[in-house]
Structures are given as structure tokens and as C-alpha cells.
Amino acid sequence: MYLGGPDALHGEAWKLLRPGESYETVPVALGCVRGGFDEAIDALTRYRRNVLLRKDAFTSNCPVIFNDYMNCLNADPTTGKELPLITAAARAGCDYYVIDAGWYAETNENWWDSVGAWEPSRTRFAGGLESLIQTIRSEGMIPGIWLEPEVAGINSPLKTKPDDWFLQEHRKRIIDNGRFLLDFRNPEVRNYMHSVVDRLVDSYGAGYLKLDYNDSACGTDLHAESAGQGLLEHNRAVAAWVKELRDRHPNLVVENCGSGGCRMDYAMLSQAQIQSSSDQEDYKKYPAILVGELAAVLPEQLGIWSYPFPTGGAREASFNMVSAMAGRICQSGCLSQLKDDAFRQVHSGIQIYKATLAPVLADSVPFFPLDLPSLADRRSPIAVGLRTAKKDFVFVWRLEGDSAVGVPVAKPGQARLLYPLSLDVTATMGKGKIEISFPAPYMAAVIEFIPSTDDKDKPSLGDQGRPRITQKHEIQETYLKAGS
């Protein structure tokens, strides 16, 4: 393990300090707890929430997002394709509706290398993009839009901008998979992207931005003594630009996608409200990913896809929903084409989430009753829990293994199946564990666990003795005393 920022050995970054100059490294937090992994994640979760998170109504109330990309339109939006999805998303109970990539590309253009100008397509939307956004609002949802601000396609009008708009190597623009990479150290670049967002928000009415980043840069040696140092300065400028976005548009929601979760850190998440967890298209593999990510990202910031296929049934839809309900629901899939029983699972999952999980998610702490899973293990069950003040919620996935799954508990109490309620899944209290029975492979469930009256003020699952640091200044003082 290497803990720290870029240097000569990690990222080819170095900077020569001349007399009177100083340099500030990237921040690192160090902590120590009594206990093991769960106790460490408990402390880290509270630290992130109380020190790093920029809280607002979106992270506190946890509304549900629909996005038209995953196993759905896949960057090919048109008015004809969007309208039935908008209706279905509203009927399912979604609060935001996000138009993903491709909205700016003409029907005969490649959406990938035409990014940069961010003008709505003239051929995709009958009546224009504004009309479609108005339809989203008329259905009671807040419209959102996809943006990849740090790149400009080689076929974009931005290719005519001066070379100092772009990351460079050996004084030549870097081209990564058909794209130039914008240099956010340049104030003209930041001002240009501010003008783009201002137009999307003020003129088109977007209330949600999904900020993506699908490229890789080793750095830039323009105005930098080393490529890694130039990249660090660019990354810091990007994070500062996102902060400026939030300040300019206080009601705007910003998602840090980063190629489906490939760039995930609290330099960005201290400014963005939500993080995309993965672009994994196989829903059966998703639980192993999201459980590990709950150790790294706050539950109220971890956006998790639910994307049932039209060919699937109620079990597939409910498996997807259990995954998404463990964090922030990012609903997708062709909802308008789902079978009735599958759509009912989506609708009931969202309603249960809003009634029971969303109100407490921003105060919950994850724990790991079956330890961390392996993506290569398709037999062992997977489980993760969210501890709240009065009760615990346990998310359990049966893969290809046994039909009976046992989740250990440290305290007596009552277990209740919360979701799904119509697929013959059962949950009962056994000796020292919750016993869940699934009638078929690849099914999942959400269990509500309420501790007995005598233990209602004690941790119900996992070990006791967790640190309960709740005040921001206490955490800051603790880390300052540790010399962090």
C-alpha cells in the first residue's frame, strides 16, 4: 500500500522549489480505532460525513434518479425513445430524469469524438431539447443532462482553440482515443465550461449534471516541471471548478461519474453530491462491487444502477432493486417495456426505499456481516448492512449457492422481510443469526432488524465499542493531534 500523493516514484511528479517557494502535498487522513474492519469503516464513514461532505437537501433526502443510459438508450436518445421512458419513470416514482450521452450529436455523428461544443442536436429532438426537458418537468421530475467537461473531440469545434487550452506532452496536444484533453489550469477553459453549464441550467432548465470522464492522461509538461505535477495541478483546478459550479448554481446536483466509478475520490466527492459506482452491465456481478464500495463512499453518495431487462421477470427486477436500495437508486433499463410483474417490483422497491431507507440513509453506517465478497466467487452469498439509530437494514444476495443464507447477529431482536414481499422469500430469526430462504438462485432481499427492547440503544449487529464521534470539530481535533 502507498498512502500519499504523486511524487517521482508514483505518477512521475516532481517540483523544484526555489528560495522562498513552498509546496503543499495532497491531504491524507490517518486514524486508529479499537476493533477491526467494521470499526474502522464506522470511523471513516463518520469522518467523511462530518468533515468532507458538502451537505444539502439532495444528500439528506435521497431522491431517486432515472438515467436513460444503462441497458436502455446507450447514448442514442431521441424524442420518440425518451417519451415512453419519461412516463414510465414518473409512474415508477423517480424524482430526477437524466438524459445521458449523445444529446449533442446529430443522428449521423459519432457521439464519442464530437463532444466539446455542447449544443443540442438539431435532428434528435422534435421541438428541440427544451421541449423534451419541459416534458420531464411536466411529469413532476427534475431534468438532468450528461456532460464530459474535460475533453474535446477531435471533430469538435473546440479543436481550433489555442494549444494552451489542452494538456500537452513534448509541446504537442495529447490525443486519447479520439479526444483532446482540456487543461483546467487555463482560466479561459474554466470560463468556457462555466458558460456551457450556465446555458444548460439557465436556458434549458437542467437541475442535474452527470459529469463523466472516460479518458486517461499521464499528465502534462506544459507550464510544469514534470508531467505528474502538471496533472495534479489540473486535477486540483477541476475540483475547484466543480466547487464554483455549486456556488454559482446552489440548486444544481452534480454527479461524479468518472467512467462509471473509475475516478472515485473525496477530492471530487467533497464537492459533488453523488458518485457513480460502476458501469458493470451484468447485474449478477454488481453486489460484489457495491459492497466493497460502501467501505469507500458514503451510502448517501453511492449511486447504484438498477437496470432490469425487458426479457427478465420479477426476480431479475427485484435483484436489481435490492442492489440499488443499498445506496442511492439510479434507475435505468427500458422501464416502458418491462413485464407487469417486473415493473411492480421496481415500483414497490422505490416506494419502500422512499418510506424506510431514504429518510435514514444519510445517518447510516455500513457494516459487513459476511465480510467482503470476491467478484470471482459465484456461490457464496453476499451481505452488507446499514446501521441506523433505531434499526438495522441488511441486504442479502443469493448467487448460485445454497437456498438458505444465514447472517450472524450479535444481539437478539426481530427480523422482518422488507423487500421483496411477493416472491416467496422468507426471513426468520434463528439462534444467533437471521435465516433467509430463497426459492431460486440469483435472488436478493432487504431485511429490517429491530433489536430487543433491552438492547435498543446498543449496536445490534457486529461488535460493540465503536467510536461515536459525531461532531465535526471533535474529528478535526483528533486528526490534528495525530499530526495528520
Q: Tell me: do 272 and 189 sit in the same domain.
A: yes
Assigned domain for 32 exists: no
Question: String of b and e for 302-317 (b: at least 16 CB within 10 Å)?
Answer: bbbbbbbbeebebbbb
Query: Which of 347, 363, 379 is a domain's end point?
Result: 363
Assigned domain for 307 exists: yes
Mean pLDDT along residues 182-200: 98
Q: Tell me: do 231 and 298 sit in the same domain.
A: yes
Residues making up the chain, counted from first to last: 484
Closest of 268, 267, 273, 276 to residue 249, by C-alpha:
273
Q: Tell me: do 331 and 352 sit in the same domain.
A: yes
* Residues 423-442: tens digit of each pLDDT: 999 999 999 999 999 999 99
Assigned domain for 385 exists: yes
Q: Tell me: do 399 and 410 sit in the same domain.
A: yes
Q: Tell me: do 319 and 374 sit in the same domain.
A: no
Average pLDDT of every residue of the chain: 92
Question: String of b and e for 132-147 (b: at least 16 CB within 10 Å)?
Answer: bbebbeebebbbbbbb
* Residues 273-296: tens digit of each pLDDT: 999 999 999 999 999 999 999 999
pLDDT of residue 471: 42
Residue 472 has pLDDT above 50, yes or no: no
Whole-angstrom distance, CA of residue 450 vs CA of residue 373:
25
CATH of residue 383: 2.60.40.1180
How far is CA 16 from each of CA 13, 19, 57, 167, rounded to the nearest angstrom? 10, 10, 44, 21
Helix (H, G, I), strand (E, B) or coil at 179: strand
C-alpha cell at 384: 452488507
CATH of residue 67: 3.20.20.70
C-alpha cell at 35: 476493533
Assigned domain for 13 exists: no
What are the backbone dihedrals phi and psi of residue 199, each rounded to the nearest 5 degrees, phi first? -65, -45
* Residues 143-159: tens digit of each pLDDT: 999 999 999 999 999 99
Closest of 275, 368, 461, 366 to residue 44, by C-alpha:
366
Q: Tell me: do 196 and 299 sit in the same domain.
A: yes
Whole-angstrom distance, CA of residue 304 vs CA of residue 330:
5
Q: Tell me: do 350 and 386 sit in the same domain.
A: no
Closest of 220, 211, 91 to residue 163, by C-alpha:
220
DSSP for 372-405?
---TT-SSS-EEEEEE-SS-EEEEEEE-SS-SEE
Residue 459 has pLDDT above 70, yes or no: no
Whole-angstrom distance, CA of residue 268 vs CA of residue 366:
21
Query: Which of 333, 363, 393 is a domain's end point?
Result: 363
| Boundaries of domain holding 423 | 366-463
Which residue type sits at 240? A
Q: Tell me: do 121 and 162 sit in the same domain.
A: yes
Q: Tell me: do 239 and 189 sit in the same domain.
A: yes
Query: Which of 344, 363, 382 is a domain's end point?
Result: 363
Domains contained in the chain, number = 2
Mean pLDDT along residues 373-401: 97
Closest of 133, 174, 172 to residue 151, by C-alpha:
174
Apex 303 CA angle, 167 and 265, nearest 5: 40
Residue 65 has pLDDT above 50, yes or no: yes
Closest of 148, 134, 119 to residue 82, by C-alpha:
134
Residue 475 has pLDDT above 90, yes or no: no
Assigned domain for 8 exists: no
The β-bridge partners of 393 are 386, 448
Beta strands in 92-238 (DSSP E): 96-99, 142-147, 151-153, 168-169, 172-173, 175-176, 179-181, 208-211
pLDDT of residue 411: 86
Whole-angstrom distance, CA of residue 158 vs CA of residue 149:
12
CA atoms within 13 A on the CB side of 176: 19
Share of the chain above pLDDT 70, in %: 94
pLDDT of residue 461: 52
Q: Tell me: do 238 and 371 sit in the same domain.
A: no
Confidence of residue 213 (pLDDT cuts 50, 70, 90): very high
pLDDT of residue 454: 65
Assigned domain for 455 exists: yes
pLDDT of residue 327: 98
Residue 381 has pLDDT above 80, yes or no: yes
| pTM of structure | 0.92
Q: Tell me: do 146 and 270 sit in the same domain.
A: yes
Q: Tell me: do 420 and 317 sit in the same domain.
A: no
Assigned domain for 26 exists: no
Assigned domain for 29 exists: no
